[in-house]
Chains A and B, each alone.
Chain A
Amino acid sequence: MNAELALARVEGTRLLRNPLVWLAVIPSALWVSEAKAGLDRREAEDLVYLLNGYALLLPGFAAVVVTTLAVLRSRVAHADDLLDTLPVGRAQRSVAHGWSTAASALYGVIIIAAAYLFLWPSSAPGFFSDDSAPSILEVSRPNVAQMLQGPIALAAVAAGVVALVRWVPTWLVAVPLFFLLFIQGLWFGIFNGESTSWFTWLWPLSTGVVQDGWIGGCGEGEACQMLLTGFDRTTPWWHLGYLLALGVWFVTIAVLRHRRDRAVWTAFAVSLAATIGFVLIQAAVYMRPLYTQ
């Protein structure tokens, strides 16, 4: 094991041992519990939102705060005088922090898996109906890509934090963090029933709701085309690729703060190209017309 991975293991273990991140699970547990208790009087899509990653909103924020403090640690403790005299330098420490975001993803997987097991071991969470879709539709449970969205988004945001802390002054670090939580939370609070668009797929978490956005139902004939509503189960696969590429790109930005050689620039360019590529692919996949028999 090289130094970066050994360090990542230490940082990851410290994250998972931190009581703050497990205390932050309590509001999510209550949220999930309440959603299950109220299943007979509310729409089942709330449960899908939770499993799509929204259950991680507060725990994820706690994990991101812990990651922020871990990256800031040497600066706050004035330890750079010492650390700058050690063979493993700041750039390698940034890489290690990047690898340690895997612990954030693992933390997210544990929460989502627990919520999944608690919510419904059956094949469907419940049913969906509203004015636009008067007939009762069965809501199928999210697939693996949908449920991995939260954990991988958490890792990507944590990687973004590594880059942020490496480049901005300490006093400025908190502002973007709270802004991100606010916007992502606002998005959920106000627009959770709104249809997604190619733009909302650029955010870490996307509900995947498609309101009348698909065409199909009875073949390709124009006469029987219907507007369809539901949860997008294909775009999330590409969204995972986007989040992973974005996370790697963030880490290269962090590394560039202290090391600017050809290898780092190449990693930066490749991950940026991959990120853009996944953005285009997920947009194209999302906007495809869906025909079903």
Chain B
Amino acid sequence: MDTFDLTYVHVHQLIKSYGRQTALDGVSLDLGPGITGLLGRNGAGKTTLLRILATGLASSSGVVRVLGEDPHDAAGRIAIRRQLGYVPQESALYESFTPFDFVDYVAILKEHTDRADRHAEVRRVLDAVDLGDVTRKKIRKLSGGMKRRVSLAQALLGDPRLLVLDEPTVGLDPEQRLRFRQLISRHADRRCVVLSTHMTEDVEALCDRVIVINEGVVRFDGTPVELTDTARGNVWIADRPDPGALVSWRTGEGRHRHIGSAPADAELVAPTLQDGYLLLSGGLSEEVAA
């Protein structure tokens, strides 16, 4: 990749189909340094997109360039993988390993073959995710949050230029999420981080850019502030529920927050990123609404 070319990911008219089902339908985007958040419902196509960027899945058609390389080409794929850190949606750890052994194993698969250097790097990333004191405990005995951090630690090996994180904060408690944000924001300096999440707070706190995907199509691509602004003038607080609202719920203060048209006796309030996301994605998904 050219030193002055800051496009880490270039995707144009990307289509991915599984049989007759289309998971991604003409996705186009360019990603540079910084943190990009992917928002979308379950099954929207986020994981498929991330797996394609991480070279774990081939696209059906379209152009994909990651770090200047073509993942369809074997040599290009290897070149990408050498500069990539990836956290899959499922932790998929070897439960009988200790965190040290597992990250060490992945380090070998990332071609860290010098034993002393590799062990130093493994200790570095485990310390970075605050797992330095449980390196010799079996993974099966760790909490869900700790397992997630083991998964994150392996992704940080070798200080990769592209970090692809699929729902990395699932299972983390608030303090761990805060530490995660600090860690990722430090890493994102002149590197590219792409993360998918359901947590709009993470996007708000971390991301320079947010992309909303729905049914395999990019519905929004902009900054978190711009996504928030899409809901401006459409968020209301009222004393009673409004059946006609796109989304409506009871708040902690006992009042009702509505997204959509103004209900009777309601007052207009400032929107949040979540409001923008809900408005854009057409409300709650069916299973949540039910």
Contacts and interface: CB of A to CB of B under 8 A. Distances in A.
Interface string B110-127: 110111001000000000
A243 to B, nearest CB: 28
Contact of B113 (A6, A82, A86): A6
B113 A81 contact: no
19 contacts: A3-B109, A3-B111, A6-B113, A6-B115, A6-B118, A7-B105, A10-B101, A10-B108, A73-B94, A79-B94, A80-B92, A82-B86, A85-B55, A85-B84, A85-B86, A87-B82, A87-B109, A87-B110, A93-B109
A278 B81 CA distance: 42
Interface of B: 51, 54-56, 78, 81-82, 84, 86, 88-90, 92-95, 101, 104-106, 108-111, 113-115, 118, 151, 154
Given A3-B109, A86-B81, A87-B109, 20 more contacts: A3-B108, A3-B111, A3-B113, A6-B118, A10-B108, A77-B94, A78-B90, A79-B94, A80-B92, A81-B88, A81-B90, A82-B86, A82-B106, A83-B109, A84-B55, A84-B56, A86-B109, A86-B110, A88-B110, A88-B111
Interface residues of A, number: 20
A84 B86 CA distance: 10
A1 interface: yes
Contacts of B82: 87
A82 B111 contact: no
Nearest to A7: B108
Contacts of B86: 82, 85
Contact of A77 (B81, B84, B92, B154): B92
A122 interface: no
A82 to B, nearest CB: 5
Contact of B104 (A2, A10, A84, A87): A10
Contacts of B55: 84-85
Contacts of B89: 81
Contacts of A79: 92-94
Interface in A223-280: none
A1 to B, nearest CB: 5
Interface in A54-106: 73, 77-88, 93
Contact of A81 (B92, B109, B110, B115): B92
Contacts of B54: 85
Contacts of A1: 113-115
Q: Which of A80, A81, A82, A85 has the most CB of B within 10 A?
A: A85
Contacts of B110: 86-88
Nearest to A69: B96
Contacts of A3: 108-109, 111, 113
Contact of A82 (B92, B101, B114): B92
A88 B84 CA distance: 13
A85 B56 contact: yes
A62 B89 CA distance: 34
